[in-house]
Amino acid sequence: MASESVMPIKATRRSSGLGDKVFALICQAAGILVLILLGALIIELFIAGLPAFRAFGIAFVTSTEWDPVQELFGAGVSIYGTIVTAVLAIVLAVPLAFGVAFFLTELAPPWMRRPVGTAVELLAAVPSIIYGMWGFFVIAPAFAQNVQPWIIDNIGEWPVIGFLFQGAPFGTGLFTAAFILAIMVLPFIAATMRDVFEQVPPVFKESAYGLGATTWEVMKGVVIPYTRVSVVGGIMLGLGRALGETMAVTFVIGNANRISTSLFGPGNTIASLVALEFGESEIGSLKLSSLLALGFILFLLSFVVLATSRYLLRSRLKA
């Protein structure tokens, strides 16, 4: 009887081992396929943009010219707009995301945490073009009539930073684009912060409470130091999301090829410029090559940001 009971177990283990090997091979093949696709994409962008790099050299990255008539192209304005709007979006989104995560993990009653958390995460499901239309028809007029005039009158004359808030209140511009991006990246950053805050061992917080610490002191002295690397990784993920956004930014940034010192001035980003100009580019033209070179630069920026965030998150998990 004992031998009869052992045989099925061994057969089961053999079949299970074979299934594990097949499953491992399939997963390995899928991972290799992703790497091949990623490598093919970046190589194709580089090769397609090579004529622009050859024609303009390193000056292509810094030049502010974009004149299709004279075939003079430069990425300086769009790189500037991409970085400014993405960084400003993070500056606006991080405090709000931290407040949401802090509320959900420390202050909200249990019955409220799930619906509020779900509502915040649903912001990520809204199509970007809806954000763009909402920004153009609702946010931009509100900024032009109420927000920007007040800021220009009250902050525009400040020393050091006043020049950032001067100019005409058109409603559209770099600041409006950054505001829309901040709302779009908010759910990503807030969800990451909430998840890592919940991973803090309860004994750490209970010890701090036992010593008489307040809720904010526990957050500042225990939770944030314990999760700071993961929080930074989540912020970097949001930054990567902001760098590549296209349609929402195209609606509200003004789409002007110039560098404005004021945050209320118009501009463009790499993604918005490609979206606007790609349909008018002829195959094999220097303009199309310049647009693909812009795509290559944006790919590198996003890759560096996302790789950094992944590294920070993994280093925190290993620790």
Structural domains of the chain, ranges and CATH numbers in brackets: 59-318 (1.10.3720.10)
Q: What are the pLDDT digits (tens) for 166-212?
A: 888 888 899 999 999 999 999 989 988 988 898 888 898 888 888 88
Q: Per-residue pLDDT averaged across 62-79, rounded?
A: 88
Q: What are the pLDDT digits (tens) for 245-259?
A: 888 999 999 888 888
Q: What one-character-per-residue DSSP string does the chain give?
A: -HHHHHHHHHHHHHHHHHHHHHHHHHHHHHHHHHHHHHHHHHHHHHHHHHHHHHHHTTHHHH---EETTTTEE-SHHHHHHHHHHHHHHHHHHHHHHHHHHHIIIIIS-HHHHHHHHHHHHHGGGS-HHHHHHHIIIIIHHHIIIIIHHHHHHHHTTSTTTGGGG-S---S-SHHHHHHHHHHHHHHHHHHHHHHHHHTS-HHHHHHHHHTT--HHHHIIIIIHHHHHHHHHHHHHHHHHHHHT--HHHHHHSB--SS--SSTTS-B--HHHHHHHHGGGPPTT-HHHHHHHHHHHHHHHHHHHHHHHHHHHHHHHHH-
Q: Per-residue pLDDT averaged across 99-106, rounded?
A: 90
What pLDDT sits at residue 318? 59
pLDDT-based confidence at residue 293 (cuts at 50, 70, 90)? very high
What pLDDT sits at residue 82? 93
Q: Which of 136-150, 228-242, 264-278 has the lowest mean pLDDT?
A: 228-242
| Of 104, 107, 112, residue with least CA distance to 195 | 104
What pLDDT sits at residue 26? 93
pLDDT-based confidence at residue 2 (cuts at 50, 70, 90)? very low
What pLDDT sits at residue 3? 47
User: What is the share, in percent, of the chain residues with pLDDT greater than 90?
Assistant: 31
Q: Which residue has the higher pLDDT, 155 or 319?
A: 155
pLDDT-based confidence at residue 313 (cuts at 50, 70, 90)? low
Q: Per-residue pLDDT averaged across 17-32, rounded?
A: 88
Q: Per-residue pLDDT averaged across 58-74, rounded?
A: 88
Mean pLDDT of the chain: 86
Q: Which residue has the higher pLDDT, 279 or 296?
A: 296
Overall size of the chain counted in residues: 319
pLDDT-based confidence at residue 270 (cuts at 50, 70, 90)? very high
Tell me the pTM.
0.85
What pLDDT sits at residue 134? 94
Q: Please say if the pLDDT value at position 35 is more than 70.
A: yes
Q: Which of 218-222, 224-228, 278-282 has the lowest mean pLDDT?
A: 278-282
Q: Per-residue pLDDT averaged across 36-42, rounded?
A: 90
User: What is the share, in percent, of the chain residues with pLDDT greater than 70?
Assistant: 92
